[in-house]
Each structure stands twice: as structure tokens, then as C-alpha cells.
Amino acid sequence: MEEYIDDDMIVCRCEEVTAGEIREAVRDGAKDVVGVKRRTRAGMGLCQGRTCEKLVMAIIARELSKRPDQVGTSSARPPVRPVTFGELADAEVI
């Protein structure tokens, strides 16, 4: 199902990125999820894109007239869940 998303709609709630900002990033040259992430921070917040990535993919695909599977996925980076600096500092290095 296609969603109809206005420019002022928040897509990435962690980083408060709107659909308009994502479309602007695509006009600025972003061709995939990673390109939009670097320009807007969409998918860089607490949930690491678990909530918004599908919609970010759909918006990019629509703007570029591609299929969603042609606009990539974000790369995962550790820590994939939040962890405190204290725990990291106490960890044993191997």
C-alpha cells in the first residue's frame, strides 16, 4: 500500500526528519538510504532506522522512479543498542 506523505510529515521520529527534508536530500543528489542518512540523519537515532527505514526507502524510490529494493539499506554499526560509556570503559579488550 502506498502512503500519501506531505512534506511536513515527520518520517524519522528519533531525529525529527520530515518527508520534505528527505525529498530535498534526494534533489541534492542522494541516491540511496545511506545517502539520505548522511545528509539528514534519518535513521541515525535511538532506533537506528528500525521504524523509519522502510518509509525512507519508499520516498527515495518514488522520487527517483525506482523500486524500493533499488535504493539500498543502511549499514549497521555497533553498538546496535544503547550502552553506557561506563560499561564500555570496564570491558575487557581482546
Partner 1 sequence: MSIRKADVLVIGAGPAGLSASIEAARLGADVIIVDLNMKPGGQLFKQIHKFFGSSAHHSGSRGIDIGRMLLDEAKDAGVTIWLKSTVIGIFPGKKVSIEREMDDGTSELVTLLPEEIVIATGASENVIRFKNWTTPGVMGAGAAQTMINVNHVRPGKRVVMLGSGNVGLIVSYQLMQAGCDVAALVEAAPKVGGYAVHAAKIRRAGVPILLRHTITEAVIGEDGTVSGAVIAEVDEHFKPIPGTEETIDCDVITLAAGLKPTMDLIKLAGCELTFDGVFGGYIPLHDENMETSVRGVFVAGDSTGVEEANTALDEGRIAGISAAVSLGLISGSDADERRDAIWERLDSLRMGPFGERRKKEKDHLIGLFHEEVKDQRAFA
**How far is the C-alpha of 14 from the C-alpha of 10, rounded, in Å?**
10
Task: Report how many helices (DSSP H) and strands (DSSP E) the chain contains, helices first.
Answer: 4, 2
Minimum CB–partner distance for residue 4 and partner 1 (Å): 6
Count, residues near partner 1 per rule CB under 8 A = 34
Beta strands in 5-44 (DSSP E): 10-12, 17-18
Q: How many CA atoms lie within 13 A of 33 on its CB side?
A: 23
Closer residue to partner 1 (CB): 24 or 68: 68
Q: Which CB atom, from 20 or from 51, has the smaller least distance to partner 1? A: 51
Site string for partner 1, 64-93 (x = CB under 8 A): ----xx---x-xxxxxxx-xx--xx-xxx-
Does 27 interact with partner 1 (rule: CB under 8 A)? Answer: no
The residues in 39-68 that bind partner 1, with binding defined as CB under 8 A, are 48, 50-52, 54-55, 68
Q: How far apart are CA 83 and CA 64, in angstroms?
A: 37
